[in-house]
C-alpha cells in the first residue's frame, strides 16, 4: 500500500508544513484588503478557513488562506484555478482570490446552515432526503467530470447546506485534472473513510468520485460508513480487501433495490460501478420507486412507530411538568 499521510481518519491529508508557515497565525480583526477576519471556522490540514466581513458588499464571507511560504501553496494555487473554471448551482462559487500581506486567499459565500456532517450527527436521512442530496451532488460531480476535473474528497464535511436547504459541494483543495497524478510529493491524498481502492493505490478516475458518493449514500441511509477502523491503515486495508455489508443490515427499512444500487457504487473494480454520477442517481430513484408492497408497509409501519414514540415522549414530558409545576389554572 502506498504511504498515506492524514490528520485524522475522517480528515484530508495532513499539512506538510503549518498553514501559517512563514508568518503569524491571523487573528480576529486582521484585514486582508477589503476583508476583515472575524473568527476561525475551520483549521484544516491544507489551509485555514475564517468567517470574514466584506466591507465592499457588507456581507459575511468565508476566506480560505495559507501563507505564501507554505509547502502547500502550489496545491492552493491549483484549487483557485479549478474553482475559477466551475460555474454550477450546486458548487460553492469562488467570489474572489488574491494575495495580501504574505498570504494567499480565496473567498466564497459564507453558508450559515452548516454541513451534511452536522446533519448526520442527528441520525440517518430518509430515502427521500438522501435522494434529494444525492441528486444535487450527482449533478455537480457530473458537471465537474465533463469539465475534466475529479473532486477526490467528497465527504459530508465538504457538503454545505444553506438555510433554504440548498446543497453546495465545496473544498477543491485536492481536486485533480483528469490525466494528472493524484499524488503530492509522492504521497497519496484523500480522506480514508471515503477513498476508493484505486485512489488508495495512487490512481484516481471519475469512478473514484462515484465510489465516494456511494460511501456518502451508505452513510446518509444508515448513519455509519461501510468501512471504519482505529486508524487510516486499517480503514484503507478494509477498502482494498473487504466487501461492504448491505445497508439494510443497519437500517431494516431500506428496500433491497437500494442495497443493490449502493453496493454497485462500492464495487472494488471501477469498471463495475455506474458509468456516471447521474446514472447512479437515476438508479437510486428507480430503486426507491420500486418498493414492494411488503417493503412499503414495513417502511410506513416504521414511520408510524417513530411518530408514536415522539408523541409518547411529548406526553411524558407534559406529565412531568404538571407534577413539578402543578395544573395550569383555568381562567
Residue 324 has pLDDT above 90, yes or no: no
Q: What is the mean pLDDT of residues 187-198?
A: 90
The grid coordinates of residue 268 equal 472494488
Q: What is the pLDDT of residue 217?
A: 98
What is the overall mean pLDDT for the chain? 85
Q: What is the mean pLDDT of residues 301-309?
A: 60
Q: What is the pLDDT of residue 67?
A: 83
Question: Which residues are catalytically annotated?
Answer: 153
Q: How large a percentage of the chain has pLDDT more than 90?
A: 64
Looking at per-residue confidence, does 100 or 117 come out higher? Answer: 117
CATH numeric code, 31-109: 3.30.200.20
Q: How large a percentage of the chain has pLDDT more than 70?
A: 76
Looking at per-residue confidence, does 100 or 5 come out higher? Answer: 100
Burial of 87 (0-12, 13-18, 19+ CB in 10 A): exposed
Q: What is the mean pLDDT of residues 94-119?
A: 94
Residue 6: pLDDT band (50, 70, 90) is very low
Could you give the CA distance from residue 110 to residue 101 in angstroms, rounded to a whole number?
Answer: 23
Could you give the CA distance from residue 29 to residue 39 in angstroms, rounded to a whole number?
Answer: 8
| Domain residue spans of the chain | 31-109, 116-289
The CATH number corresponding to 116-289 among 3.40.50.2300, 3.90.1010.10, 3.40.30.10, 1.10.510.10 equals 1.10.510.10
Q: What is the pLDDT of residue 16?
A: 35
- pTM higher than the cut 0.85: no
Q: For residues 232 and 192, is the Cβ–Cβ distance under 8 A?
A: yes
Amino acid at each position: 500500500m502506498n504511504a498515506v499521510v492524514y490528520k485524522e481518519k475522517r480528515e484530508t491529508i495532513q499539512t506538510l508544513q503549518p498553514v501559517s508557515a512563514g508568518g503569524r497565525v491571523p487573528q480576529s480583526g486582521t484585514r486582508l484588503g477589503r476583508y476583515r477576519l472575524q473568527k476561525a471556522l475551520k483549521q484544516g490540514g491544507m489551509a485555514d478557513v475564517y468567517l470574514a466581513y466584506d466591507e465592499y458588499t457588507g456581507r459575511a464571507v468565508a476566506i480560505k488562506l495559507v501563507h505564501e511560504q507554505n509547502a502547500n501553496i502550489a496545491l492552493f494555487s491549483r484549487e483557485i484555478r479549478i474553482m475559477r473554471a466551475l460555474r454550477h448551482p450546486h458548487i460553492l462559487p469562488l467570489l474572489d482570490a488574491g494575495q495580501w500581506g504574505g498570504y494567499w486567499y480565496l473567498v466564497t459565500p459564507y453558508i450559515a446552515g452548516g454541513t451534511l456532517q452536522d446533519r448526520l450527527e442527528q441520525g440517518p436521512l430518509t430515502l427521500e432526503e438522501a435522494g434529494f442530496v444525492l441528486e444535487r451532488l450527482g449533478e455537480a460531480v457530473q458537471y465537474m467530470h465533463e469539465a475534466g476535473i475529479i473532486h477526490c474528497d467528497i465527504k459530508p464535511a465538504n457538503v454545505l447546506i444553506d438555510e433554504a436547504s440548498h446543497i453546495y459541494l465545496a473544498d477543491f483543495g485536492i481536486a485533480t485534472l483528469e490525466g494528472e497524478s493524484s499524488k503530492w510529493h509522492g504521497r497519496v491524498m484523500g480522506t480514508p473513510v471515503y477513498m476508493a481502492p484505486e485512489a488508495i493505490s495512487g490512481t484516481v478516475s471519475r469512478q473514484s468520485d462515484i465510489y465516494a458518493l456511494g460511501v456518502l449514500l451508505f452513510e446518509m441511509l444508515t448513519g455509519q460508513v461501510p468501512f471504519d477502523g482505529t486508524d487510516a491503515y486499517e480503514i484503507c486495508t478494509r477498502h482494498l480487501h473487504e466487501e461492504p455489508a448491505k445497508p439494510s443490515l443497519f437500517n431494516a427499512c431500506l428496500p433491497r433495490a437500494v442495497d443493490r444500487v449502493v453496493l454497485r457504487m462500492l464495487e472494488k473494480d471501477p469498471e463495475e460501478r455506474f458509468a456516471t454520477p447521474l446514472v447512479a442517481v437515476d438508479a437510486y430513484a428507480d430503486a426507491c420507486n420500486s418498493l414492494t408492497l411488503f417493503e412499503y408497509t414495513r417502511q410506513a409501519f416504521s414511520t408510524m412507530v417513530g411518530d408514536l414514540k415522539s408523541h409518547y415522549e411529548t406526553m411524558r414530558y407534559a406529565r412531568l411538568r404538571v407534577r413539578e409545576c402543578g395544573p395550569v389554572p383555568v381562567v
